[in-house]
A and B are shown apart, each in its own frame.
Chain A
Amino acid sequence: MEWETVIGLEIHAQLNTKSKIFSSASTQFGAKPNSQACAVDLGLPGVLPVLNKEVVSKAVKFGLAVDAHINQRNVFDRKNYFYPDLPKGYQISQLDWPIVGEGEIEITLGDKTKVIGVTRAHLEEDAGKSIHDLYDDYTAVDLNRAGTPLLEIVSEPDMRNAKEAVAYAKKIHALVQYLEICDGNMQEGSFRCDANVSIRPMGQEKLGTRAELKNINSFKFLERAINLEVERQQDILEEGGEVAQETRLYDAVKHETRSMRSKEEANDYRYFPDPDLLPVEISDELMAQIKQELPELPQEKKARFIAEFGLSEYDADVLTSQKPMADYFEKMIVNNADHAKLCANWIMGELSASLNKHQLELLDAPITADDLSLLVNRIGDDTISGKIAKDVFKAMWDGEGSADEIIEAKGLKQMTDTGAIEAIVDEIIANNQAQVEQFKSGNEKILGFFVGQAMKATQGKANPKLLNEMLRSKLG
């Protein structure tokens, strides 16, 4: 039987505020356990939450960027359950009146685009962290993360395969970074994805029973976990079994998912409006102000890159797919407005390849945009050839110095001294009469032979343009 996969994603984006959503404690990552949990975060008797207004603006920004309806009156609820890393015995979240209502976002896969629905996005506080392997008989609890602001972004079940799910997740990831509302750091858990996966016979309208996959902390794992789950469900159904509605944990090390809790074991969260917090009222003035402060979004930036710098559709799309890359390009362009295409090529070519090879993020690249722009400058002003530039790039990556320092130290400067090049060309022509005859009898391709010889003699430093012109005039 042919099966259709249906995927919806729940993304938790940690909003990058300095203090927590309901207290003044810091949200800095990596501090000593429990050093960033104040009385409110600890859930001491008598403490009360006070909303950090920053989170409201950030959530609205997101809503506007996905063309969503903004609920200018939205309500915080309590989600009640017991767990040691949940100090109050309830999580403050939003159920019936989330801040962001229905919206949508377009994803691109190859040359196809598809619109994915955003069901809603709501504000909530994060729980603390339980550490089960620190002590033999105890679980350790670190409440530093308790009360960190999250925006939970829920998609419609609009994705039909793992690649679409990854494209959507990446798109949201790029968007929250563009909006500067989340740092997007997946290793530190600032951006987390849960996937609801089900399958159904192709053509059937009714959705199959879904499993929720949790604990996915990279796009690579997202793709793997979904594919694994689809296989698992297919196996069950094809053997005549039934998929259980449950939550499954993805284990990246063992590359397997395992059941965490079934529907029957799921909590009744006893949601009700939090009486400690008034409904959030967002004024028209604030809405207008946030709208005005919206930064340039990926689509707009892409259009501008094409119009302003003459980039191709493809190049502009790749460059704007991640904010750090777009930023890198824009920094390079400051000194290189005439060589936009060259800048784009270097980012998408050498730089991306080296990052991949070393498994680094762009922000951790050893070559800054300014450094790389100097190198591109030297190609542009004919100091070095593109081929030599690749060697210089490698040396820069290895920390041997700036482009100019390396060119100088290694003597890579192009020969632009016409007299010197002429002497070499004359010698090559004199020593290779047979090839000269071939050229004269119309074999244009043989020109490459002479260029090669000249480059060899100059260790690649001869200015290619100059050399070509000279050879043609002498041979012609």
Chain B
Amino acid sequence: MHTKTLAQLAQGLKNKEFSSVELTQHYLDRIEKSDLNAFITVTDELALIQAQAADDKITKGNASVLTGIPYAHKDIFCTQGVKTSAGSKMLDNFISPYDATVSHKLNQADLVMLGKANMDEFAMGSSNENSYFGDVKNPWDKTKIPGGSSGGSAAAVAARLSAFATGTDTGGSIRQPASLCGITGLKPTYGRVSRYGMIAYASSLDQAGPMTQTAEDAALVLNVMAGFDEKDSTSAERDVEDYTASLNDSIKGLTIGLPKEFFSEGLDDEVASQVMAAVKEFEAMGATIKEVSLPNSAYAIPTYYIVAPCECSSNLSRLDGVRYGYRCDDPKDLEDLYLRSRSEGFGEEVKRRIMIGAYALSAGYYDAYYLKAQKTRHLISEDFKKAFKDVDVIMGPVSPTTAFDLGSVKDSVSMYLADIYTLSANLAGLPGMSIPAGFAQNLPVGLQLIGNYWSESKLLNIAHQFQQQTDWHTQIPEEKD
């Protein structure tokens, strides 16, 4: 069953080829056997209850499109009555009293939550090595990282431990692990999916999206996740399209922009040639290729690593040991309570970013760092606006390399370089995708698609058409016992 796509599974459930309880149990068994550490919490009892309820609906004939489909939910989304840790010791004891809007929508659509997927602590990381709950392994090679921060989600989908997974992307956290694990990941336009109940890392950049086997699956899941939410002032008051509607449209005449800045030094040769091969495939399908320039994307890393830490330094202030979450033993006074709870509760990378952010926002530095970064961010957006006058979609690599060895990247700055191609889309608020585009060093390589604002349908259409011509997305890592 697990080799089927989400679309096929949904059909199977409708046709009663198998029940949701059977499907759910099958995935739970696979999770049980898996040693990838893709989950922080497995909600097996809850999953079987949800599956039974879904089966009842299917029997009664009042099921919706995805009723009974099991999924892995990134542990950054609040789930009522279930531990929501965000990969941190700080929230190891936090049972959320409420549902995130995304969680609520998935429940309303009768989906079955298998558990909460592992992730870098508070979504800060590109390798999933920053989780309090341990590293996640790449299913293609267990000595490699799965990417991050949605590493557990990507590994779960790649290893077929769930039909799909949710992810969040602040600087590439959906696209980069999707690329390194060989699956399809979509980061929608900022404001398309509600952030309410999604534990905030960098509020102006965070965006949730689906992580799936195929573009068609991603369209089906985005149909459920997307939409205006009055509880999120930054969500867009814009109707939700049916993202499956234009999947089969022809892409003849499509103009693809290749930013020269995305093919510069630091890009692995084999990755580059896989990406170019994919672009050639599009050419064969009737698309034309054009070189574009995104000159300010060179500043994406420094810009991002000011904006995101500034916001996170403030967003994470509520984790103070006072009302919930980790509190140090025997605080001797208030200062001690704050100091030790936060020192002991947060991991190194999180503390590093809080300190960078607090520094950049402090009196006398604000203009030089935060304001400057905001200006650069604006310039990066303008580059894209200009490029989209000439092209329909921008393509390039997702990650400069394939998945690297667990434990091999020791310093933060080298780690930050892994995000070089993904950050721009977040800074500009644009939708981006990663789709499987081949292998290098026996590891998956992803192709990145960046579209104009609100062009999710177009991106999914382009990706789906590519997946009709290629079979990279159907590859499954070999399972050895």
Contact = CB atoms under 8 A, between A and B. Distances in A.
Interface stretch (A5-13, A76-84, A166-174, A411-419): A76-84
Interface in B173-226: 195-200, 202-204
Interface residues of A, number: 29
Contact of A46 (B197, B234, B316, B361): B197
B334 A272 contact: no
Interface in B306-339: 310-311, 313-314, 316-320, 322-324, 334, 338
Contacts of A87: 318, 322-323
B78 A46 contact: yes
Among B77, B230, B314, the most chain A Cβ lie within 10 Å of the Cβ of B314
A42 interface: yes
Given A39-B98, A82-B338, A48 B323 contact: no
A90 interface: yes
Given A45-B318, A90-B314, A39 B195 contact: no
A89 to B, nearest CB: 2
A43 B318 contact: yes
B357 to A, nearest CB: 9
B447 interface: no
Interface stretch (B151-159, B243-251, B297-305, B362-370): B362-370
B112 interface: no
A358 to B, nearest CB: 44
B305 to A, nearest CB: 16
B306 to A, nearest CB: 11
Contacts, number: 100
Interface in B64-102: 77-78, 84, 86, 91, 94, 96-98, 100
Contact of A272 (B94, B231, B366): B366
A282 B179 CA distance: 44
Chain B contact residues: helix, strand, loop or mixed: loop
B358 interface: yes
A46 B199 contact: yes
A190 B318 CA distance: 26
A268 B316 CA distance: 17
In this complex, the interface size class of chain B, counting residues with CB under 8 Å from chain A, is 35 or more
Interface string A186-225: 0000000000000000000000000000000000000000
Contact of A88 (B77, B199, B313, B318): B318
Contacts of B338: 82
A82 B320 contact: yes
A39 B323 CA distance: 12
Chain A contact residues: helix, strand, loop or mixed: loop
Interface stretch (A113-121, A273-281, A443-451): A273-281
A78 B363 CA distance: 14
A127 to B, nearest CB: 13
B196 A48 contact: yes
B233 A276 contact: yes
Contact of B317 (A42, A49, A90): A90
B317 A46 contact: no
A50 B235 CA distance: 11
B323 A43 contact: yes
Contacts of B361: 80, 270-272
B311 A48 contact: no
A283 to B, nearest CB: 16
A272 B324 CA distance: 26
Nearest to B103: A46
Given A48-B233, A51-B233, A276-B233, A270 B97 contact: no
B233 A50 contact: yes
Interface in B358-402: 358, 361-363, 366, 370
Among B195, B233, B324, the most chain A Cβ lie within 10 Å of the Cβ of B233
Contacts of B198: 46
A80 B310 CA distance: 11
A50 B234 CA distance: 9
A80 B98 CA distance: 26
Nearest to B197: A46
B317 A89 contact: yes
A307 interface: no
Nearest to B94: A45
B318 A270 contact: no
B233 A78 contact: no
A303 B318 CA distance: 53
Given A39-B97, A47-B197, A272 B322 contact: no
B197 A272 contact: no
Contacts of A39: 97-98
A44 interface: yes
A50 B86 contact: no
Given A44-B97, A48-B196, A272-B366, A88 B233 contact: no
Contacts of B318: 43-45, 87-89
B232 interface: yes
Contacts of A90: 314, 317
Interface in A236-294: 268, 270-272, 275-278
Nearest to A277: B233
Contacts of B202: 275
Contacts of A88: 317-318
Contacts of A48: 195-196, 231-234
19 contacts: A39-B98, A44-B98, A44-B318, A45-B78, A46-B100, A46-B200, A47-B196, A80-B314, A82-B338, A84-B320, A87-B318, A87-B322, A90-B314, A90-B317, A139-B334, A275-B202, A276-B203, A277-B234, A278-B234
Given A44-B96, A272-B361, 7 more contacts: A46-B200, A50-B231, A90-B314, A270-B313, A272-B314, A276-B203, A277-B233
Rank and list the top 4 A-B pairs by shortest CB-CB distance, nearest first.
Answer: A89-B317, A275-B203, A270-B361, A275-B204
